[in-house]
């Protein structure tokens, strides 16, 4: 059996270092990381999982325990990724933590092989129960939609009132003319113009 050449070994080390540096850079920027296990997951379910995380604005990686711990050092995920054991994967996002938690919770319900272990949000380690509670909250997009509805509802009513104003004003003027509201003395005759003063 042929042994690995020194150049091949150096290349593998270089690739590992690049993977480490890339993951460390990404973990330093994110606010939310969710740790999970996926023992026995099928290729089809793994594909669904990755697509769900991507749709939620996050990233998903299967990680080696030593690499994850080294990458997490000095980042908000440091305490989460210490002393890992077993098979692990991480999902993380720089966007909406609720959207990520919702996506992963749905996958966990559909795929028994995928299970939460723990997570970190804004530097605080959270439990499986807290991840599920996070998933029950309205997402950022849902909150924005509700706020916009509340802001736009009064504006719509004002717009409808303004649109109806010319028509209502015309009706009011028409009724006033019929009732001789613009006449003098109530006899319907228009007031006569005063004669112009004669120059001296």
Tell me which H or E stretch contains 52.
Answer: helix 43-55
Helix 97-110 × helix 128-135 angle, to 10°: 110
**Is the pLDDT reported for residue 23 higher than 90?**
yes
Q: State how far the Cα of 120 lies from the Cα of 195, in Å rounded to an integer.
A: 90
Residue range 25-42: average pLDDT? 93
- Do 85 and 65 meet the contact criterion of CB atoms below 8 Å apart? yes
129 has pLDDT over 80: yes
Average pLDDT over residues 5-33: 81
How confident is the model at residue 13, as a pLDDT?
78
**Rounded distance, CA 163 to CA 170, Å?**
13
- Between 51 and 143, the more confident residue is 51
Q: In terms of pLDDT, which residue wins out, 10 or 103? A: 103
Q: What is the CATH number of domain 6-137?
A: 3.30.70.1730
pLDDT for residue 116: 94
The confidence score (pLDDT) of residue 35 equals 96
**In the chain, domain spans:** 6-137, 138-180
- For the chain, the straight-line distance linking the first and the last C-alpha, in angstroms and rounded, comes to 132
Tens-place pLDDT, residues 40-80? 999 999 999 999 999 999 999 999 999 999 999 999 999 99
């Amino acid at each position: 059996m042929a042994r690995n050449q020194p150049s091949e070994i150096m290349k593998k080390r270089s690739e590992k270092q690049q993977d480490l540096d890339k993951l460390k850079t990404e973990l330093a920027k994110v606010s939310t990381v969710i740790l999970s296990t996926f023992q026995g997951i099928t290729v089809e379910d793994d594909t669904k999982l990755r697509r769900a995380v991507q749709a939620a604005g996050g990233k998903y990686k299967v990680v080696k325990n030593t690499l994850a711990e080294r990458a997490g050092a000095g980042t908000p995920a440091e305490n989460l990724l210490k002393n890992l054991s077993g098979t692990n994967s991480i999902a993380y996002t720089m966007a909406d933590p609720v959207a990520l938690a919702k996506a992963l919770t749905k996958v966990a319900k559909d795929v028994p092989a995928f299970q939460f272990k723990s997570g970190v949000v804004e530097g605080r380690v959270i439990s499986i129960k807290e991840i599920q509670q996070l998933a029950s909250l309205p997402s950022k997009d849902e909150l924005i939609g509700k706020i916009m509805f509340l802001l736009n509802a009064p504006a719509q009513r004002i717009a409808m009132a303004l649109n109806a104003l010319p028509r209502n004003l015309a009706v009011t003027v028409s009724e006033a003319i019929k009732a001789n509201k613009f006449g003098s003395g109530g006899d319907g005759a228009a007031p006569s113009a005063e004669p112009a003063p004669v120059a001296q």
